[in-house]
Structures are given as structure tokens and as C-alpha cells.
Amino acid sequence: MKRKVKFLPDNISVTVEHGENLLTVAANAGVFIQAFCGGDGTCGKCRIKLEKGNDSSTQTASLNLDDHAEGYRLACQTNVISDLVVRIPEEVSARGKALKRKPKTTRSISARSLEVLIGQWDIDPPVEKRFIKLSPPTVEDNVSDMKRLMRKIRQDCHACKEPTYDHPELLKELPFTLREADWEVTVILLRGKRVEEPDRIIAVEPGDTTDKLYGLAVDIGTTTVCAVLLDLNNGKTIAEASAYNDQISCGEDVISRIVYSRRPGGIQELQTKVVHTINKIIETVCKKVIISPSDISYIMAAGNTTMSHMLFGLDSRFIREAPYTPTCSQFPLTRAAQLNVTAHPSVRLFLYPGIASYVGGDIVSGVHACRLHKQEKVCLFIDIGTNGEIVIGNRDWMICAACSAGPAFEGGGISYGMRVDRGAIENFHIHPETLDPMIVTIDHAKPRGICGSGLISIVAELLEAGVIDQRGKFNRNLDHPRVRKGPDGYEYVIVWAKGSLIGEDLTITEIDLDNLIRAKGAMYAGYMTLLETVGMTFNDLDRVILAGNFGAYIDLERAISIGLLPDLDREKFYYLGNGSLMGAQISLTDHKRFRERLEVIKLMTNIEMSENPRFMNHYMASLFLPHTDMTLFPTVLEKLPG
Ligand code: FES
């Protein structure tokens, strides 16, 4: 249910979900409220007055009963349960200083357009169950058991080609299954990879099991493995689960995992760990809906090239060494059990093909999900992580590249950086005159670090308030206790020690800013290089699609302000979510969409960036907030001081 919230005195109105936290609502709407503790309820700074509507706030020690009776609340302890009119008292908005400039707009990329992106699909999975009643053999009709089975399949489906089979274990069990089931069995058929290929019998089960047809879609991420269990009879998601990839104990990123794999037994250990993670997830989803892992009839997975190699137990060393060649791009359709994945011995695991060492199956799956290969107009597809992957193209052509953005967006290389987790600062505003912060943390817990979206907010806000300049250097002329010279040079104190969970001042330093500028510079240089390669500019783009979990939290305006995303019409931006998982999910449900992946692979051409002189030139030009060429960022130019 939607609720309206109006903030006074600036008259900013927003529509939000019922139950949303008021401090988060204000932060997302660009309404400044002093908030020092991230929403933990302890600093008592975020007092607002409810002028209309009901709330579900909790009375805290930071607010006395009289104030409560007069309508005062702590924004961070208030949830929106009706339409509200909220007044921000002067002392809370600006410590008595009126805001001289217009309120800012911040905007997350909404999922409004998900359907436009991924389109419709049918419930016609690549695996099918058919219940078959056979007539028992007689002296007159004593063809082999398999022949009898295939003959009946043909009789029941005239349009079908005679199916094949390739699994010797199937033959070992077949005579007994048929007889024990009194010749009434369910056949599991796998559709041919192409239209012209016949179906394949992968299992024969006693009795009628057609009501149990399940598939598992898996995204094998370097950090997290996510999966959804689908009922393939109706296409519905019936359970979801995710877990940290157990390989994390062998290294945080793909490079350190490849290094680890060179140890004796390393490849085997990494394979065991990723399989163990997948098995844990299978156990979790199956428990949720009370089915057995052996009820899953197909597993469709996607991961980056290194994860794909590691799942198959392949040596990934050449991925890391120039000229960066993977062992293979297409992985054979495999029986999941051969990889030790907990599944029925006949169940196949399909792994999305990759394009190059750093543009893997996860990107192909995302591009496939959002149907770039069907678009007439040119789109830019971006997946931001340690490696930023970029694809530009349409139904006629696609070029792709990976840019080594570094781990800044995942908290790496930032003094107080952390992954998306409880207590991470995810949203930040600064009052342009008092320079006081408004901090919102994940779960409204005491602040303990900064995650990627928080980092983007902090840098954009410091820039717009003139606390840092476009080189990412602090304004040396500012006389403010929060801007000071620390052990690593100039820094801004985001949270004082007494308010942080870690018991020390939580700061952002010039070194952190440098790392962020390099990360966003690599991404922007990647867009520019690919566009230049095909003789295009940003103006030729019809859509910019953000994939990956990070995209969910990105504030569009701020990401543009720092030059991470191009300064284009905001309506061109779309958010896909976990494209890797989504592609696998769609393929698992609709075999015609599944077959289209072949079109995607055919269209994609990888451009190597690592030693590309064009990329280096663009990279150098991008090491500025937002860019050295401000004609590329007209809306940001308007916002910058001076
Ligand atoms: Fe609400 Fe600190 S008490 S932000």
C-alpha cells in the first residue's frame, strides 16, 4: 500500500510504501534532517513534528513525554503507516541556519520498467515430464524395453521426433523400474538445444510424478551464491536462498582465488567449496517447500568465467595471464551429480557460456534476460562490481568489455569501507552551510563502516557542498572541526567516535577519494572506449541498464554527480537486478527463450581494455569529479559550487 508524505517547510511530497522508515524516506527525498547515529535512536538529533497523520513511532529516552504529546517524534523511530505531513524544525534542518539553495532531488533507479526490460515468457521449460502407460510385452510384441518406451512416446506425440538417450545408468535401472511400476512410468525429457535436435530421455520414474517438476536457477557469484527454486508446472518461484560463497576463505576476489588455485590441491579445494555452497542452498530451498533434492529436474546456473571454471574444476590460471584466455567459453551440459552437486543422478546442470576471461556467463545471462539481442535501438548494459562489465549494442551487434574498477564499490581500499551489512552507512547528506551530516545506516544500527552506495553519496555530497574539489582534494580553507588533517592526510569526520560502533572517528580520507575516483574513472573510460570503437556517443544510447545487486542501492543523481554514470536523460536508466539469476530463471521456464542465448553469444564481441591506448586516454580524463570535460556533465555543472 502506498502512503504520501509531505515535508514542510520545503513542501516536498513523496509517495512511499506503507511502513517505511521516516528517516530513510527523508534521506531518499533529499530532505535534510540532522541524524548522527544512522537511525539507531541514540543521538536524539532527528526530531521532527507530525502535523498530520498517524505513525508507529516508539517512545525513546531521547524524547520526553510532553514533546511526544505535542507531536514531536524521532524520524528514525517512526514508520509511515498513514499519509503524513511532517515539519522539520529549523534547529533540526539547519541548526537555525536557513537552507539557501533549493532542496536537492535524489533518485534511485526504480524497478518500474522491469517488465519492459525482460518482457513476457511462456511456461514451457526445457525439461518436461510425461506420464506413460505402456502395454506389457508379449511373445508377439517383445521389443526391447527402451524401444517400447520410445515407441509409446512417439505414438503419444506425433509432432515429436524420436527421443534419444545417452545415460547408461538409465538402461541399468529401466527394466526394473518398468516392471515394478506395472508399466506406468513418468519419463523426464530434455528438449534439444536447437529446434532440429530431438528430445533426450534423462530419467524414468515409477508412477505418475508429473505434478512434481522443479527447476533450480543459480547465480554463482564470487561473494554470494543465490538461487531460486521454481515450480516448472506453473513457472512460480517457490523458494529462494543465498549464501556466501565458501571460497571466500581462499580469497575475496577472483584474482586471489586464481592465485589460491595454484597451491597443491587448490583447484580441487575451490571446486569442493563452491559445490558445498550450492548444496547448502539446495538443502535450504528444498527444506522450505518440503521436497527432496532429487525432485529437482534441471539446474540452470550462471557465473563469471573464473567461477565457472572453478565449478568444473578447471585450471583458471590463464584467465589471469596475458593474453587472458579461458580454457573454454561454453561448458558441456553436465550431470549435476558428476560435479558432486546434490541431485538425482540424471539431472543436468547447464552453465551459461561466457564470452571472455572477464565477461562471463553471468553477463551473458543478464544481457539475455533483458533482451538486448531483440532491441532495435542501442543500449548500454552495466554491471558494477570489482570488475565492471559493460556491453553496448542491439539486435545487430554487441561489443563488451571488462574494466578493472577495483573493490572500492564493495568497500575495498576504503579506510572504513565495508560490504552491504548491518551498520553500513548507505545514505548520506551534508548540510551545505553547517556541514553537519545526515547519516542513514543499514538496519538503522550504529554506524560501523561505509558501503558502496554510502560512499557514492558521501563523495557526491562533499563535492556539491564544496568540501572537496573536483580533484577529490579537501578545501584547505575550511575552518570546521569535521574537516581536519588526520594520519593519512586531510579527512572529513562522518561519525565521531562516541557515536560509532567501532569506538573511533569514522572518516573519509583523500586516499579513499583517490581510490573511488580511480574506480569510477575506469567505468566511465570503459563506456567512452566502447562507444568510440563503434563511432557513437552517449547521445546514441536509448537505454542504460544497470545490473547487479549494487545497482539496487545506487542513487542515480549522485552516481552521475561523481561521474560513475553518464549524464543522460534520467528516464533512460533502467534497473535490472540480478541479471545473472534472472536469465537463468527465464531460461529454466521457457525453452524458446533459452534457445535465444545462442543469438546473444553470436552477437557479442569482447574488446580487451587492459592495454588499450584509447582506454588509457579516457581513463586519465575521467580521474576528476565528475570528468575533466564538463560538457559531458551539464546537469552536474549546474549543481557544483562556483
Ligand atoms: Fe534518530 Fe539519531 S536518534 S538519527
For 105-156, the pLDDT digits (tens) are 555 555 456 788 888 899 999 999 999 999 999 999 999 999 999 999 888 8
End-to-end CA distance of the chain: 43
Categorize the per-residue pLDDT at 95 as very low, low, confident or very high, splitting at 50, 70 and 90: very low
Q: Which atom of ligand 1 is nearest to the CA of 37?
A: 2
CA gap 406, 512 in Å, rounded: 12
Which CATH number describes the domain made up of 127-206?
Answer: 3.10.20.880
Asked whether residue 166 carries a pLDDT value surpassing 80, the answer given is no
Asked whether residue 202 carries a pLDDT value surpassing 60, the answer given is yes
* CATH 3.10.20.30 in the chain, residue ranges: 2-103
Contact 425 CB / ligand 1 (< 6 Å): no
Q: Stretch 377-392: mean pLDDT, rounded?
A: 92
pLDDT tens, 610-628? Answer: 889 999 999 999 999 999 9
Grid coordinates representing 111 are 524497478
pLDDT tens, 254-303? Answer: 999 999 999 999 999 999 999 999 999 999 999 999 999 999 999 999 99
- Indicate the top mutation candidate among 21, 24, 34, 45 to test ligand 1's pocket, ranked by most ligand atoms within 8 A of CB: 45
- Distance from the alpha carbon of residue 464 to the mean position of ligand 1, in angstroms: 24
Contact 46 CB / ligand 1 (< 6 Å): yes
Q: Which atom of ligand 1 is nearest to the CA of 34?
A: 4
Sign of CA dihedral 520, 521, 522, 523: positive
Query: What are all long-range contacts of 533-542, with beta carbons under 8 Å and residues at least 24 apart?
Result: 533/399, 533/607, 533/614, 534/392, 534/397, 534/399, 536/378, 536/392, 538/566, 538/568, 538/632, 540/378, 541/378, 541/379, 541/380, 541/392, 541/566, 541/568, 541/572, 542/375, 542/377, 542/378, 542/379, 542/572
- Distance from the alpha carbon of residue 94 to the mean position of ligand 1, in angstroms: 15
Contact 36 CB / ligand 1 (< 6 Å): yes
List Cβ neighbours of 78 (8 Å cut-off, separation of 6 or more).
21, 22, 23, 48, 50, 55, 56, 57
Q: Please, is 18 exposed, middle or buried when counting C-beta atoms within 10 Å of its C-beta (0-12, 13-18, 19+)?
A: exposed
Q: Which atom of ligand 1 is nearest to the CA of 439?
A: 4
Q: SS3 of 585, please? A: helix
Q: Stretch 68-87: mean pLDDT, rounded?
A: 92
Omega of the bond prior to 9 within 30 degrees of 0, cis?
yes
CA nearest to 218, candidates 269, 271, 281: 281
Contact 632 CB / ligand 1 (< 6 Å): no
Q: Stretch 220-228: mean pLDDT, rounded?
A: 94
Asked whether residue 75 carries a pLDDT value surpassing 80, the answer given is yes
- Distance from the alpha carbon of residue 40 to the mean position of ligand 1, in angstroms: 6
Categorize the per-residue pLDDT at 170 as very low, low, confident or very high, splitting at 50, 70 and 90: confident
pLDDT at res. 92: 59
Looking at 68-72, 156-160, 429-433, which range is the least confident one? 156-160
Q: Which atom of ligand 1 is nearest to the CA of 44?
A: 3
Omega of the bond prior to 626 within 30 degrees of 0, cis?
yes
Q: Which atom of ligand 1 is nearest to the CA of 76?
A: 1
Residue with cell 592526510: 489
Categorize the per-residue pLDDT at 497 as very low, low, confident or very high, splitting at 50, 70 and 90: very high
Contact 438 CB / ligand 1 (< 6 Å): no
By the 8 A CB rule, do 41 and 76 touch?
Answer: yes
pLDDT tens, 294-315? Answer: 999 999 999 999 999 999 999 9
- Distance from the alpha carbon of residue 76 to the mean position of ligand 1, in angstroms: 6
Q: Stretch 202-227: mean pLDDT, rounded?
A: 95
Asked whether residue 500 carries a pLDDT value surpassing 50, the answer given is yes
- Distance from the alpha carbon of residue 422 to the mean position of ligand 1, in angstroms: 16
pLDDT tens, 420-431? Answer: 889 999 999 999
CA gap 570, 557 in Å, rounded: 8
- Which helix or strand (DSSP H or E) is residue 513 part of? helix 510-533
- Distance from the alpha carbon of residue 41 to the mean position of ligand 1, in angstroms: 4
Q: Which atom of ligand 1 is nearest to the CA of 46?
A: 1
pLDDT at res. 64: 76
- Distance from the alpha carbon of residue 501 to the mean position of ligand 1, in angstroms: 14
- Distance from the alpha carbon of residue 444 to the mean position of ligand 1, in angstroms: 9
Q: Stretch 313-335: mean pLDDT, rounded?
A: 94
By the 8 A CB rule, do 555 and 464 touch?
Answer: no
CA gap 631, 642 in Å, rounded: 16
Contact 45 CB / ligand 1 (< 6 Å): yes
- Indicate the top mutation candidate among 25, 32, 43, 57 to test ligand 1's pocket, ranked by most ligand atoms within 8 A of CB: 43
| CATH of 214-363 given 3.40.30.10, 3.30.420.480, 3.80.10.10, 2.40.50.140 | 3.30.420.480
Contact 60 CB / ligand 1 (< 6 Å): no
How many Cβ atoms from other residues are within 10 Å of residue 242's Cβ? 18
Q: Which atom of ligand 1 is nearest to the CA of 33?
A: 4
Q: Stretch 437-460: mean pLDDT, rounded?
A: 94
Which CATH number describes the domain made up of 2-103?
Answer: 3.10.20.30
List Cβ neighbours of 587 (8 Å cut-off, separation of 6 or more).
126, 217, 300, 350, 365, 368, 593, 594, 597
- Distance from the alpha carbon of residue 446 to the mean position of ligand 1, in angstroms: 10
By the 8 A CB rule, do 37 and 499 touch?
Answer: yes
- Distance from the alpha carbon of residue 24 to the mean position of ligand 1, in angstroms: 11
pLDDT tens, 11-59? Answer: 899 999 999 999 999 998 889 999 999 999 999 899 999 999 987 776 6
Looking at 212-216, 327-331, 430-434, which range is the least confident one? 430-434
Selected residue with higher pLDDT from 362 and 93: 362
pLDDT at res. 98: 45
Q: SS3 of 447, please? A: coil
Residue 329 corresponds to which amino acid?
S
CA nearest to 528, candidates 464, 418, 620, 452: 620
Mean pLDDT of the chain: 91
Contact 633 CB / ligand 1 (< 6 Å): no
Q: Which atom of ligand 1 is nearest to the CA of 40?
A: 2
Q: Which atom of ligand 1 is nearest to the CA of 41?
A: 3
Contact 444 CB / ligand 1 (< 6 Å): no
Categorize the per-residue pLDDT at 546 as very low, low, confident or very high, splitting at 50, 70 and 90: very high
pLDDT tens, 183-194? Answer: 999 999 998 877
Contact 74 CB / ligand 1 (< 6 Å): yes
pLDDT at res. 107: 56
Q: SS3 of 556, please? A: helix
- Distance from the alpha carbon of residue 441 to the mean position of ligand 1, in angstroms: 11
pLDDT tens, 467-492? Answer: 999 999 999 999 999 999 999 899 99
CA gap 388, 88 in Å, rounded: 40
Contact 270 CB / ligand 1 (< 6 Å): no
* 3-class SS string, 54-97: CECCCCCCCCCHHHHHCCEEEHHHCEECCCEEEECCHHHHHCCC
Q: Stretch 409-438: mean pLDDT, rounded?
A: 91
* CATH 3.30.420.480 in the chain, residue ranges: 214-363
CA gap 23, 250 in Å, rounded: 39
Grid coordinates representing 610 are 587492459
CA gap 282, 344 in Å, rounded: 12
Contact 44 CB / ligand 1 (< 6 Å): yes
Omega of the bond prior to 323 within 30 degrees of 0, cis?
yes
Q: Which atom of ligand 1 is nearest to the CA of 74?
A: 1
- Distance from the alpha carbon of residue 399 to the mean position of ligand 1, in angstroms: 47
CA angle, 510 then 516 then 521, to 5°: 125
CA nearest to 131, candidates 185, 170, 177, 191: 185
- Distance from the alpha carbon of residue 95 to the mean position of ligand 1, in angstroms: 15
Contact 25 CB / ligand 1 (< 6 Å): no
- Indicate the top mutation candidate among 57, 74, 439, 441 to test ligand 1's pocket, ranked by most ligand atoms within 8 A of CB: 74
Paired sense of beta strands 127-133 and 164-165, if any: unpaired
pLDDT at res. 109: 58
pLDDT at res. 420: 86
Paired sense of beta strands 164-165 and 184-190, if any: unpaired
Contact 43 CB / ligand 1 (< 6 Å): yes
By the 8 A CB rule, do 61 and 1 touch?
Answer: no
- Distance from the alpha carbon of residue 38 to the mean position of ligand 1, in angstroms: 6
pLDDT at res. 610: 84
CA distances from 358 to 134, 139, 474, 538 (A): 51, 61, 35, 24
- Indicate the top mutation candidate among 22, 32, 33, 36 to test ligand 1's pocket, ranked by most ligand atoms within 8 A of CB: 36
Q: Which atom of ligand 1 is nearest to the CA of 75?
A: 1
CA distances from 262 to 255, 256, 258, 309, 552 (A): 11, 10, 7, 14, 35
Query: What are all long-range contacts of 173-178, with beta carbons under 8 Å and residues at least 24 apart?
Result: 173/204, 174/145, 174/146, 174/149, 174/204, 175/145, 177/204, 177/205, 177/206, 178/134, 178/145, 178/149, 178/204
